[in-house]
Each structure stands twice: as C-alpha cells, then as structure tokens.
Chain A
Amino acid sequence: MIKKNLLHKSSRLLLLLAAYGLSYPIQAAPRIASDNSERRILENNFLNSQPQQTSITGRVTSQEGEPLPGVTVVLKGTSFGSITDLDGNFSLSASLQANNVLVFSFVGYQPKEVPYKAGQRLQVVLTEDAKSLSEVVVVGYGTQKKSDLTGSVGTVSKELIEQQPVSSIDRALQGAAAGVQVTQTSGQPGGGVSIRIRGGGSIQGGNEPLYVIDGFPLYNNAASAGVTSGADVNPLASINPSDIESMHILKDASATAIYGSRGANGVIIITTKKGAAGTSIVSYEGSYGLQALRQKIDLLNASEFAQLRNEALQDRNPAGGPYQYLAPAEIAALGTGTDWQDAAFHQSPIQNHQISISGGNEKTRYALTGGYFGQDGIIRNTDFKRLSARINLDSKITDKFNVGLNLTGSRTDANLAPSGIVSSLLTMPPTATIYEADGNYTFRNPFENLITNPIASLFEQTNKTNTLRVLSTIYGEYTLLDGLVAKVSFGTDITTTKDESYIPRTLYEGIAVNGQAAIGQLNSYSWLNENTLTYRKESGKHSLNALLGFTQQEFSNDVFRAGSQQFVSDDLTYNSLQGGATPTVPYSDAYSWSLISYLGRLNYFFDQRYFFTASLRADGSSRFGKNNKWGYFPSVAFAWKISNENFFTNVNLPITDFKFRTSFGATGNQEIGMYQSLSTLSSVRVLLGEQITTGFRPDRIANDNLGWETTYQFDSGIDLGLFENRLLLTVDGYYKKTVDLLLNVQIPWTSGHSSSLQNFGAVENRGLEFGINTVNIDNGALTWNSSLNLAFNRNKVLKIGDGQEDFIISGDYIIKVGEPLGSFYGSVTDGVLQPGEVAEKGNLTGKSSPKAGDRLYKDVDNNGTFSNAADRAIIGNAQPDYFFGLTNNIAWKGLDLSVFLQGSVGNQIVNKNRQSLELFTGLQNAAGSARDRWSPSNTDTDIPRASSDPSNIFSNRFVEDGSYIRLKNITLGYTLPVALTKWARVSNARLFITGQNLLTWTSYTGYDPEVTSTNNTVSQGTDQGVYPVAKTVTTGVKVTF
C-alpha cells in the first residue's frame, strides 16, 4: 500500500514537471518501480517521433469513479506513450497502425489493453489488483516487498478498518487476519479487547501484542487512575482509527525478533495516512448510526418470582405455609413487574466525522486530519467521545536529507458503567421498583442479599474519565553514500488520564459515608530514540539489505488519588473535595522502566529465488534482576521462490507464484510489573493509640536472577498464486514454545510471603493458518473478490512450578501440565435428587441436610461423598478449535457490497451470570429456567428446587458452548457518477450503509458470545456482568473534493 502511494507520488512529480514545460522521458522515472511488467513498459522510449500522427484522448478512472492521475498509456508494441494528468485525462499523438491497442498500466491496478479508433475519446476503468494491494508490507524498522518476505506477516486491509464503526483499531482486528484472536472484554463504549496472536504463551506476564504506531512501540496497558469503577477505557481508543493507512501483523520469529523482548506476543505495525504530491485533496467522511442490544436474558417476571420466593421461604420455614411472601391474589395483581433490563438498555446513537486535507509538492507532502467520534452506550448514561487531530509531514530538505513528523493529539471523555451494573440488572427482583412511592429511588434489594438499585447507580453516580494524549515522532534521514542511509528519530507519548467519581448521599452506596467524592490522575510519559543505518545494494543477481540500529526508550508513570466523604450537599460532586468533612487517605506512586537495545538485520536475496534473513536484537531492560538485565533474541529465515526456478517454467500447472518460507527465532516478554526483582518495602498505616502511624513491611524476597520469558518459534509456510494470481493461498504452520515463564511461583507461607516471581515453566502453542484470496469474477463491469482466513491453535502447559505439583488452581480455573491454559475446573452435575433417594445419594448434594430437588454432583474422587473442593474436574476450555474471517467484496458499476463473516468454533464460556441466576433463593431474581424447577409436581427435570440455602457450586451446568458465526459487518456503498457531482467540484462521493454484528448464530445463552471478563489468559472466557456488545446500523457519506 505504501509502495502504491509512493508511485502515485512519483507519477505526480512527472506531471508537475510536464506542467512546467520540461520534457521528461518516462524511462527516467524513479527506480522505485520494480515490478517487472512495469519496468518493461517504462523502459520503452517514446522519444522517436513519427511523421503521421493522430490524436488520441481519453480519461482513466478507478472502479469507484475516481480519476487516476499518473497512469502510463503506451501504444502496444511501440514506445509511444503518455501519462494521465490530475483529472485522469491523457492525450497522445500516434500514427495509426494495424495494431490499434493502448496499454494502460498503473501500480496497484491490473494492466488493461484497450483498442482505439481515431478520434474516439476513451473511457477506461482500471481495476485494483488484489494481489498488489498487499505488495509492500511494513516490517520492523523498514518495509519489504511481500514477494521478498521470509517471515509470516498478516495484512489488514484499510477497507476493513474503515467500514467498521468501532472506537479503537484493535476492535477492527476481529477476523481480519489469520491467527489473530480478538475477544471483547467490555461492550462499554471505548472499552477494551483482548488480543492473542497465535495463542497466549504467558501465564503471569502480558499476552497482548506490541503496537508500533508510526515507529513508536507501545504496550496497551490499561490506563486508569484507580478512581472509577467498572471496565477501564482502552488506551488505544485515543488513536483515531480513521487515520490509519495500513496495519501489518508480524507473527513469526523472523518478523518479530527485531522487537526482541517485546516481540513474543506478536507485533502490530500501524502506519497512518500520509499526503501525496499533487493538488490538495480535501475529503469529509461522516456516519451516524444506532446501536441496540443483541438479545435480553430470559428472567422471571414479578409473579413468577413471587411464586419462587414463596417456595424458598416455605423451604426455610415449613411451618409458615406456602404463602409467606405473597398470597395468590397478591401475586396475580403483580403482573410482570419491573423489567430492569428494559430500564437500563436502550437504542443509542453512534457517530463519526472526519475531515482530511492532504497534498504536497515535490519537496513537501502533508496530511492533516481532524476527527470526532461519539458513541452512547446501549446501557443508559454511558458514553465515549473522542476529538482528535493529526498532522503528518514529510519534507525533502536536500537530495540527501529528508525530515518528517507524525503528530497526533486527542482528548477522550467517557462515562463508564459502574462495576456490577449488569449483574445487578439481572439479579434485582422484578417485584422491586425503580422508585419508591415517594418518588425517591429505591435503595436496594428489599431481601437479605445486597443488590443496589442499578438504575439509581447508573443515573446518579458520577463515574467518568478523560484522557489527553499526544503521540509524536520526528525523524531525519540522510543518505551517506549510495545505498547507505542513516536515520535518527525521536518520539514521545504523553498521556494524562483523569478519573472523576462521586457517589451521592441519596444512593445506598453513598449513604453510609454521606456522599463520597474522589479524583485521580495518571500521568504517563515515554520517550524513544532510534538510530538506524540501512544499506541496500543490488548487483546482478545479488541483492543485499542490511540494518543496524541502536534504540532507547524510557517510560515513567505517576498516579495520585484524593477523595473525601461526608458531604452536606450532592451538588458540587467531585469538584469540591474540601466540601467533604472527612478526607480519605490520599495516595500517590510512581514508577519507570527503561529499555536499551542494539539491533541488526541482514537480508540477502539471490536471483529472486533464494531469500535469506537473519536478525538479532540485544535488549537491556530495567525490569529484571541485576544478574539478568540483558537478553539476546536472534532469528534466521529462508525462503525459496520455486516459481522463479528455471525448471518451473516447464511445469504445466496454472501456478503463477510459488514460494516456500521457513523461520526460527527467539523473542521475549518483559510485561511484568516494575521492581519485581527487588526486595521493596511498602508503607502501611497502623493505629497504636489515638493517631495513625506508619510502618514498613517487605513486599517480596529479592530475586536477582529474574530474567526474560523467552518464546522460541518455528514457522514454515507456503505462498501460492494460481491462475495468474487470481487465487492466492498462504499456509503457515508454527510451533511456539515459551520457556522460563514469568511465574509467581508459590512458596511456603512460612517464608512470610506467598509467592515469588521466578522464571519457571513452559507453555507451547502450535497451529496452522490459512489465508485464501480469490478474484471470483472480474469482467470489467462486475468484480467479486473473496478473502478467507482460518486459524487453528493448540495450547498446552508443559511445565509449572519445580516439579512438586503439576497444577495450579486459580478459582474456577486450573493450570495443569498437559492441559491448555484457560481450562475450567469445577464440579460435574448429575441430575437432581428425587424423593426416596435422600439416604442413598444425599451426600452427593454438597448440603448437610439434603432434600429431594437438590442438585446432585458426581463423586469425582470416589470417596462416597461430594465436596466442593475435592470433587472437581476439568469441565471446559476457553480456547477455540478454530476461528476464521470471510470477506466478500462485490462491485458493480457504482455499487459496492462487502460482507464480512467471522466466527469462532469450539471454545466454551463460563456463564457466571447464569450461575448466580440459577440459585433460586428467592432473594434475587432467577433465570427463566426456574420455570422448570423441581417440585413435587415436576420431578422429571434437571433444574433444582427453590431453596433459601442452596450450595453455590461452580459446575459444568454453567459451562456453555461459545461457538458462533456472525455477520460481523455488511456494507453497501454507492459511488455517485462524477457527472452528477462535478458541478460541486466533488471528484468522488460515496454513500454507504453498514451493519455491524447484525446476525449471530450461536447457542450461547448469555448476552453475547464475544465475551471475556478479563484479558488474562488463565481466566479467559468468563462472562460475569460484562457490558454486552451492541449491534449497530450506520449510514454515512464520504466526499472528496
């Protein structure tokens, strides 16, 4: 994509020179054009003039009707040619010959031959070349032709990012590239996602990929000052997705090892839009849409609930009779009661506006953008807004010296759903009302189970956060010798996040402290300096490309919080902490880390047949023990382009391209907290008299040997192009082994500590990835392209601890040698206790006084009784068998249609909401399944009876199939004919309508199968009170002037 732009630019340069009356032979065009067919045309000389000439004129446009400037037009078989101007027009004088064909060629588009007749004005439409769309890829510290790649690099098309109405770029990655698994951790506007590239390898360390935005590496750490409750805003949401030109995903070690200690989880390289030489292009893009909840969860209504509560009360106190809550007549009068879901969820708007101006001349190119994104949540009183601006500038100071700047600033504001809101909505009894008779909010669940009024919390609590972020990189590039370029760049990422919270006196949450206000601020600052030398040399069949670099990055972070309680008035909220009579303990802390790196890479290509790459990065990180500061991360790779072998030309197969790749290398993971190797002390507050005094306690035992977590990865793949590359197939197989896991190794408590962060254990991931791109139909008028990506990953724990135990139980999860991470560990249900079975099976209910209707569990350890702790087994796993994305793009005249399906198969979800809703205590609302609960008159069921004292046991009952296929995106666009818009100087106008998540096929009973409460690899796949993902319909327009 980058290359296409460059060529665009070079072509425009030609035009510019032509406009100044300079003659410019095409052959002298910059050497960037390296595609063979292109070069052949360019090498033709059109200086030979011929005596008898005819004028041929015409206009070249893209499929979207955009004029294409800089298209080379050559009379077939001759060297006569011309180039289209800014409006796509060309004219050329040629002598009429028998062979009346013009050849149109332009990088990024399929060449086209058009016959002409004298005097005719030609209208030529060029079709984008699906293959060349991903021709040039951005790799670490440089770019490479895709055909030269030895590593595994995925490309996300710009169109796929652009057409999805999402708040942050990582959300658009779902299904976009093979092996990239994206799960939403919250549907909160601006909320986060969890990304795994080729599976998670780390238990304790981070598993998220490294993002490199215009050369600036950043890890997407949650940014919260710790004052707000509920899901944090995703820090990547401060980057405007509309600014993005391309995204490349580095997957294998050959591609990622150049990022050394941060490459183990994959690297996502993001390049923002740059200007191009030529006249300025002004464009506006705007969209507006509505979002809605996919489905409600089936719960009991008021009269059903009242009946359940009567039964539960009778169970506790049989003497009280069957109507201890409400009598039948009262129940009949209840009706459906309060539907808390209806009260909280609504249809909400989403909008996006973007203005961009780009252009430049031969020396300076620029792109300016300004954007606004606003999203109201489907839960009332939650939202996210972003205002952002960007300037990208590149300038040629001299022939040898280039400088450039990428600068973006943004402000985001979000109102967050307080934590527990979704759980409260589900469990609040339908017999409770939102308001009391006196018009005030109902405080809480009237029964013995604390649930605060979720609607009151939503509307009355202030729970918001805003972030100001400035991310910039500047560079200077100097050509020292022919082929030897030195580049120095500096970058900074400055972020300030402010959290604001107020819980008024009128809420249950605030009454005990008479109102509570808090503010918090998180400042983070990171600077980067990169110095690289690149050397390119081509000589005959040999091609060499070497990179040497030194980089340093430092990050520092400080946070403070303050608050107070006991307010007289709720009016000033968090804006007047001094108005609270009792201050809460203020808090502040700070930390920093630094990374010093040396890196080198060598590419050697021979005869476009053999490709070698070797790279090495040495990283010194402050985060590790003093004996282990430095890590070394090498990689080697080899590719063989079989289709360029001589013998292959004789092969009679429809194979256009055939390449075999293989790579091996090591990458690291440094994502542990700071100061983990040191024996630090923390202050504590203790009361020994009337005043609070301070103590210092040890945090951990020092571990000077704490070092890197290292991932070794082997990758082999093929790239195959069939039928003139109308079918492109990429297959990759990989094996990843992560060793020296950063693991909080449990140590005996007698040491005074629970655990110690050590390098222990190993996890493997192995998998297969397929990418298929096809051009199904391309007959000029109608085009239809498809793209499928499909990935299989298998994860397995190889080693944990030091051999004393082979498993770690962590809540409802188990990390066990031989099993994948994310394994659910719980009890196994075995029907319901029936009358007469109490003596025989009563001790399999987990209750001390079992009754008919209690749930039965399997006695896993075969000791005759069931106990919650001992009788557990692995009852599911959050890792999918495979996941995929399928895109179909169809274009016909001005119409374009894109259909994007995405799915995940074989993963399971722990539906914790349901576990809570199937307690049937009568203290809180229950799931619709309660209608089929056991009772003396309904014994043929596996749903237990109502009981005030149920055993709250996590079992396979709450593990559900999380497989789904969804229509992730469908977009229909129409580009108005230029004739209609030309009067307004509009060169292109496109109207579109987009549906996101419109259809989902799944058997999962929760709100949405795209869910995980935490982005931790160990406890993935839990759905507990997660803000559900919305479905969205958006319409919009894009106008280019």
Chain B
Amino acid sequence: MKKLTYILLLFSFSCTNLEEVPPSNLTTEQFYKNEKDALAAVNAIYHRMFTEQLVLFNRQLMMLEMATDDVTAGPRTRSAQVVDMSKLQHVPNNTAVEWTWQYTYEAINRANIAVDRIEALGEDVINSELKTRLVNEAKLLRAWNYFNLVRWFGPVPLILHETTSLTNEALQVQQASEEVLYNQIILDLTSAESLPAPGTYATADAGRVTAGAAKTLLAKVYLTRKEWGKAADKLKEVIDLGWYSLFDNFADVYNVATKNGKEHIFSIQFNGDPSIVNHLAMFSLPFEFNGEYVDAPHLPGQLYESYDLQDERRNLTLAKQLYNPQTGQTVNLQHLTYVKFFDSSKALAPQQSAKNIPLFRYADILLMYAEALNELNGPTQEAYHPINLVRQRAHIPLLQEVSLNLTKEQFRDAVFLERRKELALEYHRWFDLARRGPEEYVKALHAAGKTNAAPRHVHFPVPQRELQLNLNLRQHPDWVGF
C-alpha cells in the first residue's frame, strides 16, 4: 500500500501549467507603460496607413483612383474587382471598396488605442511635451481617416475608443451624421495644430505629421464643406507662416536628394529598403521592363493631352519611352506610364524606389487658396496670384495670358485643371471630382469614355459585409438597390 501511495504521488506532480505567456508576442496587459511603448503605439498608425504590405494609402487609394478620368485598369489587370472599379461597375461587395473601409478603420482603432493609452500615462513615465505631441499625432491621423471616410461613404460609425469587447453593443455601432463626423474631425485637427512646426523634427522623424499638415487638412475640410472663408483664412495662415515655398524645379518635388524639402508638407517616406514596398513605383513599371503588377494602372491619353507642349510637368509625370540604365537603351513603351515615382536606379526592382510620395505639398495649398478666393470674391488678382505661381514653375504662360476675363466658373475650371496636371497620381483627383458634385463628376468621366459613371459614384457604397454584420448600419441612400 505504501508503494501505491508513492505511485499516486506521481499523479499530483505536475511539471507544466496552463498559463499562456507568448514568448514572441507582447500582450496588451504588458504594454503601454512608458514613452517607448507610446511611440510604438503611434508608429503603428503610420504603419497601417503608409507602410503595411496591403497599405491603405499608396495601394488602396490607387484602386479608388480607378474611378476617375485619369486612370483605368490596364491590360495586365488580373483582378476583376479593380476592372469593375475602373468601369464604374463596382457593387457593395467590391473588394477595393471593402478593403479601403477595413484598413481605414484598422488605422482608426490604432489611433484610438494611442490616444486613450497615452493620455492615461502619468508624468512619471512620459515627458509631457512628448505626450502631447504623440496624442496629437494620433488625433491628426484619426481625423484624416475619418475625413477620408466621410468623403468616400458619407455617414459612417464614429468610434473614438479601442474596441475591447465582442458584444453586439460594442461591435454594431450606428452611423454618425456628416455633421457630427466633421465636428470631431475639426476638433481633432484643431488640437493637432499644436504639433511641432515643420523642420523641428529630427531627420529620423521627418515623416511625422506636423502643425503644417494639421492646418492643411483643416483647410481641406473647410474647402470640402464649401466654408470658403474659413478655408481661405486657414490657407492664408499657412502661406503667411512662411514655412513652405515652391521648389524652383518641378522635378525636385520627386527627387530623392530633395525629399522632405521646402515644398513638402507630408510625404510617404521611402529609402529603398528592400523590406518596404513602394507600390506606386512598382505599379508604374512598364511591361517592357519586366513589369508584371496585377493591378497595373493604365493611363489613357486624356491626361497626357491636357498638358501644354512646353509644360515641364508632362514628361516628368508621364512617359512614352523610358531609359533603362542597365542596358543603356531607351525603350519605346506600348502604353503610357507614369514616372513621378519611378526610380531609374531601381529600374529592375521598382518596389524599392527611394522616392517619397508627397500627399500634401505647397502647390496644393496655393491651388486651394486660388479656389477659395475665387469662390469668395470671384477671379480677383489675389486669386490669380497663387495659381500663376504654380504655372510659372511649370513654365507655362500665366493664366490671364491664356484667356482673358475668366468668369468665376471658368476660373474654377482652370483651377481644377491645374490641380489635375500638377497633382496627378498623388491621390487628389477622386476627391476633387467628387467634391465638385455629381454633375461635374459624371461629365468628367463620360468625357473620358467611362459611360457607366452615375451621380451615385461621388460616394462609394458601404461594404455589403458590414451591412450584414452590423444591423445598425444603413447603405448610402444613393446606393440603395445597387
């Protein structure tokens, strides 16, 4: 019996336990404790928006650009979803739309985590100046994403805290009105105006958002809402601060040597690191260079034809032939390609292009200012000045030299045309077309041969999946039945 006792002892002797402590993953409970954690939480927002493999900006936005008059799905496009988008045949379960919604809310969730968790940190663990900065970075990025959402989808759920529960209450959030969304956007951006001024970050942080980015976004919000006075004031504020000016040469906007320069307000950063993919550059590699990208954007001639012959921007934006540094030959291309982000030193590995992609830059400020002033007071001299700065830099005649006595409407058209040429492929076109309204949008797309375009296309449909999973969600009224 004694032996039996010994044996039974074995039964109670346990060498393992059931607690899970992942050796290669942190858990939420362990994290968000100090400055470094706070920084990592904010970095994760940038990651979702600008770096992640299926990146929101840069890749996803290019799919939405398919719904403009600039870009169509090229002959090598294998994704039927992108082709549908290009032909304006997309429906509420189009993946390009769904992913955009998904990635944007992922970025928002990360921003919410950063705002809440960093605000909860005490002064003993984080420098208060850094704390304020990081919270404001997160708020700006959150506002930017909501600004995109409200422009794309109209009313959407407004979520301002991390989702930590799986209950229906936590998951099935109602849509907020555009008014409520914009109020929150303006609130966050106003707070973010206290971010550091440009130039105050170290080089290693040059890709972070600044006070300049906050003010630019605010101005865009006012412009989109047709609050022309507020927009003009905010734009004038940016101009008067003197932080930014145009490069003398248009080429310097994209040159590696002049990245994060005087014209750049916010750019997606690239340095040629093989682990980070520059999608826009990768998309642009033509077939003749062994390009193979599945969603290759294709540029019909309309944009190319819109440039004056002497316009310096045309050949810096689009190319019919391309020099291959490896073979030393210039190759004629079957299709037009865009070359703004094409790094000729990486001709065979274009995804490693070291060229930044500017999302906000001073030329955009100037053109917005011209637009706002025209809307306020008509085509005054004051309105002509900023657009002419942009035209001069492109070495094309001043606007009044081309056509005298523009009406307010003609001036507006001129500004939008200038925006199209100046900011091509920098993700402004869809927003510009949509904010001009359904009539202008349909007209522009029909002119480009996209005859499926209809008034509802100034919004994207709320993803079908979300409508199924969130019973409190409603389809955009224009999209009901499609």
Chain A residues lying within 8 Å of B162, measured Cβ to Cβ, are 698, 752
B91 touches A870 (CB 8 A): yes
CB within 8 Å of A: which B39-68 residues: 40-48, 50-52
A698 touches B110 (CB 8 A): yes
Find the B residue at minimum CB distance from A694. B40
Asked if A907 is an interface residue, CB under 8 A from chain B, the answer is no
Across the A-B interface, the 5 shortest Cβ-Cβ residue pairs: A752-B109, A695-B43, A695-B44, A589-B24, A688-B207
A867 touches B20 (CB 8 A): no
Interface centre among A623, A702, A748 (most CB of B within 10 A): A748
Chain B residues lying within 8 Å of A683, measured Cβ to Cβ, are 40
Which residues of chain A have a CB within 8 Å of any CB of chain B? 444, 448-450, 478, 480, 484, 486, 488, 508, 511-513, 529, 531, 533, 550, 552-554, 558, 565, 582, 584-585, 588-594, 596, 598, 620-623, 629, 674-675, 677-699, 701-703, 746-754, 756, 758, 804-805, 848, 867-870, 948-949, 951-953
A693 touches B466 (CB 8 A): no
Which of B163-171, B228-236, B397-405 lies at the interface with chain A? B163-171
Find the A residue at minimum CB distance from B46. A686
Q: A752-B108, A804-B469 are in contact. Are A591 and B348 (CB under 8 A)?
A: no
B273 touches A805 (CB 8 A): no
Closest CB in chain B relative to A424 CB, distance in Å: 14
A750 touches B205 (CB 8 A): no
Find the B residue at minimum CB distance from A867. B91
Interface centre among B163, B206, B270 (most CB of A within 10 A): B163
A685 touches B10 (CB 8 A): no
The 27 listed contacts between A and B (C-beta, < 8 Å) are A449-B76, A486-B7, A488-B10, A513-B349, A529-B15, A554-B16, A565-B274, A598-B11, A677-B20, A678-B22, A680-B25, A681-B26, A685-B47, A687-B273, A688-B208, A691-B271, A694-B40, A698-B109, A701-B165, A746-B469, A748-B171, A749-B106, A749-B466, A750-B466, A805-B469, A952-B78, A952-B80
Q: Which of B4, B78, B163 contacts A751 (CB 8 A)?
A: B163
Interface centre among B22, B112, B269 (most CB of A within 10 A): B22
CA A754 – CA B164 in complex, angstroms? 13
Chain A residues lying within 8 Å of B292, measured Cβ to Cβ, are 450
A679 touches B271 (CB 8 A): no
B276 touches A694 (CB 8 A): no
Find the A residue at minimum CB distance from B113. A698
User: Number of B interface residues, CB 8 Å?
Assistant: 95
A448 touches B76 (CB 8 A): yes
Asked if B102 is an interface residue, CB under 8 A from chain A, the answer is yes
Q: Which of A677, A869, A953 contacts B91 (CB 8 A)?
A: A869
Q: Which of A488, A531, A749 contacts B105 (CB 8 A)?
A: A749
Q: A674-B20, A690-B203 are in contact. Are A702 and B271 (CB under 8 A)?
A: no
A751 touches B109 (CB 8 A): yes
Q: A684-B43, A686-B51, A848-B89 are in contact. Are A692 and B273 (CB under 8 A)?
A: yes
Asked if B329 is an interface residue, CB under 8 A from chain A, the answer is no
Q: Which of A444, A681, A691, A751 contacts B290 (CB 8 A)?
A: A444
Closest CB in chain A relative to B244 CB, distance in Å: 19
Interface centre among B42, B80, B469 (most CB of A within 10 A): B469
CA A588 – CA B87 in complex, angstroms? 44
CB within 8 Å of A: which B260-307 residues: 260, 269-271, 273-276, 287, 290, 292
Find the B residue at minimum CB distance from A870. B91
Write out, one digit per residue, whether chain B residues 382-400 have a CB within 8 A of any chain A CB (1) or not (0).
Answer: 0000000000000000000
Write out, one digit per residue, whether chain B residues 158-181 have a CB within 8 A of any chain A CB (1) or not (0).
Answer: 010011111000111100000000
CA A414 – CA B204 in complex, angstroms? 45
Find the B residue at minimum CB distance from A630. B18
CA A486 – CA B1 in complex, angstroms? 12
Q: Which of A582, A620, A685, A693 contacts B18 (CB 8 A)?
A: A620
Asked if B75 is an interface residue, CB under 8 A from chain A, the answer is yes
CB within 8 Å of A: which B122-159 residues: 156-157, 159
CA A517 – CA B207 in complex, angstroms? 32
Q: A448-B76, A513-B274, A684-B43 are in contact. Are A689 and B18 (CB under 8 A)?
A: no
Find the B residue at minimum CB distance from A598. B11
CA A758 – CA B75 in complex, angstroms? 42
Chain B residues lying within 8 Å of A596, measured Cβ to Cβ, are 14, 16-18
Chain A residues lying within 8 Å of B52, measured Cβ to Cβ, are 684
Q: Which of A529, A593, A697, A805 contacts B47 (CB 8 A)?
A: A697
Chain B residues lying within 8 Å of A952, measured Cβ to Cβ, are 78, 80
Q: Which of B11, B172, B269 contacts A748 (CB 8 A)?
A: B172
Closest CB in chain A relative to B260 CB, distance in Å: 8
Chain B residues lying within 8 Å of A684, measured Cβ to Cβ, are 43-44, 47, 51-52
Asked if B28 is an interface residue, CB under 8 A from chain A, the answer is yes
Interface centre among A508, A688, A691 (most CB of B within 10 A): A688
Chain A residues lying within 8 Å of B25, measured Cβ to Cβ, are 589, 675, 678, 680-682, 699
Find the B residue at minimum CB distance from A585. B275
B31 touches A681 (CB 8 A): yes
CA A691 – CA B272 in complex, angstroms? 11
Chain B residues lying within 8 Å of A752, measured Cβ to Cβ, are 105-106, 108-110, 112, 162-163
Chain A residues lying within 8 Å of B172, measured Cβ to Cβ, are 748
B166 touches A701 (CB 8 A): yes
Closest CB in chain A relative to B40 CB, distance in Å: 4
Chain B residues lying within 8 Å of A698, measured Cβ to Cβ, are 28, 109-110, 113, 162
CA A480 – CA B466 in complex, angstroms? 65
Q: Which of B207, B348, B466 contacts A689 (CB 8 A)?
A: B207
Chain A residues lying within 8 Å of B48, measured Cβ to Cβ, are 697
| Given A531-B10, A952-B78; 18 other pairs, CB 8 A cutoff | A486-B3, A486-B7, A554-B16, A589-B23, A591-B22, A596-B18, A598-B11, A684-B44, A684-B47, A688-B43, A688-B206, A689-B269, A698-B109, A746-B465, A748-B173, A804-B469, A804-B471, A949-B75
Asked if B249 is an interface residue, CB under 8 A from chain A, the answer is no
CA A75 – CA B471 in complex, angstroms? 86
Asked if B200 is an interface residue, CB under 8 A from chain A, the answer is no
Q: Which of A680, A689, A697 contacts B27 (CB 8 A)?
A: A680
Chain A residues lying within 8 Å of B102, measured Cβ to Cβ, are 749, 754
CA A622 – CA B17 in complex, angstroms? 8
Asked if B332 is an interface residue, CB under 8 A from chain A, the answer is no
Closest CB in chain A relative to B334 CB, distance in Å: 9
CA A653 – CA B41 in complex, angstroms? 79
Closest CB in chain B relative to A355 CB, distance in Å: 38
B24 touches A550 (CB 8 A): no
CA A449 – CA B170 in complex, angstroms? 46
Asked if B342 is an interface residue, CB under 8 A from chain A, the answer is no
Chain A residues lying within 8 Å of B12, measured Cβ to Cβ, are 550
Chain A residues lying within 8 Å of B157, measured Cβ to Cβ, are 750
Asked if B101 is an interface residue, CB under 8 A from chain A, the answer is yes
Asked if B470 is an interface residue, CB under 8 A from chain A, the answer is yes
CA A754 – CA B87 in complex, angstroms? 28
Asked if B330 is an interface residue, CB under 8 A from chain A, the answer is no
B290 touches A582 (CB 8 A): no
A758 touches B348 (CB 8 A): no
CA A575 – CA B304 in complex, angstroms? 50
Chain A residues lying within 8 Å of B471, measured Cβ to Cβ, are 804
Q: A552-B14, A678-B22, A698-B109 are in contact. Are A688 and B46 (CB under 8 A)?
A: yes
Find the B residue at minimum CB distance from A590. B23
Asked if B468 is an interface residue, CB under 8 A from chain A, the answer is yes
Chain B residues lying within 8 Å of A588, measured Cβ to Cβ, are 24
Chain B residues lying within 8 Å of A696, measured Cβ to Cβ, are 26, 31, 37, 40-41, 43-44
Find the B residue at minimum CB distance from A550. B11
Chain A residues lying within 8 Å of B207, measured Cβ to Cβ, are 687-689
CA A951 – CA B470 in complex, angstroms? 33
A691 touches B43 (CB 8 A): no
Chain A residues lying within 8 Å of B173, measured Cβ to Cβ, are 748, 750
Chain B residues lying within 8 Å of A747, measured Cβ to Cβ, are 166, 171, 469
CA A697 – CA B40 in complex, angstroms? 8
Asked if B19 is an interface residue, CB under 8 A from chain A, the answer is yes
Find the A residue at minimum CB distance from B36. A694
A693 touches B204 (CB 8 A): yes
